[in-house]
């Protein structure tokens, strides 16, 4: 796995700073633990709507990345199948957003 963004997600998973799946991500957002939410390419419109709403509800301003990575690619990076994940550490969240937005290796 050469992609720095995906490698960072794996590192966050190993350090326990990652929530996976709809319910866990929503719980993380509600508790204000999430610093960044990531949605895979195959995330349904309903999932995208619910996540966007949760991340902005009540004055929250948690960024959401709608990525071009498939669920399989994200799942391989973190070791768990999930279409939506949250980074529950501000450092990991900022680094992941930066790597995704500035990653020339990313497929477009």
The pLDDT value given to residue 31: 94
Backbone angles phi, psi at 70, to 5 degrees: -75, 165
Into how many domains does the chain fold? 1
pLDDT band, residue 77 (cuts 50/70/90): very high
pTM of the model: 0.90
Contacts of 73 by beta carbon, 8 Å cutoff, 6+ apart: 6, 40
CATH number at residue 41: 3.30.1330.30
Distances (CA, A) of 12 to 40, 44, 55, 56: 17, 24, 20, 23
The residue segments making up the domain with residue 76 are: 4-101
pLDDT band, residue 59 (cuts 50/70/90): confident
Identify whether 108 is part of a domain: no
Identify whether 62 is part of a domain: yes
Rounded average pLDDT over 44-71: 94
pLDDT band, residue 102 (cuts 50/70/90): confident
Identify any residues that bridge with 84 across adjacent strands, giving them in sequence order. 39
């Amino acid at each position: 796995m050469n992609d720095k963004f995906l490698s960072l997600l794996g590192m966050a998973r190993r350090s326990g700073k990652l929530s996976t799946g709809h319910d866990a991500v929503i719980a993380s957002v509600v508790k204000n633990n999430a610093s960044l939410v990531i949605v895979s390419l195959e995330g349904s419109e309903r999932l995208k709507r619910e996540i966007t709403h949760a991340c902005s509800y009540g004055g929250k301003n948690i960024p959401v990345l709608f990525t071009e990575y498939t669920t399989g690619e994200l799942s391989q990076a973190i070791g768990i199948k999930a279409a939506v994940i949250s980074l529950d550490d501000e450092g990991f969240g900022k680094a992941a957003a930066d790597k995704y937005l500035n990653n020339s290796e990313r497929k477009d």
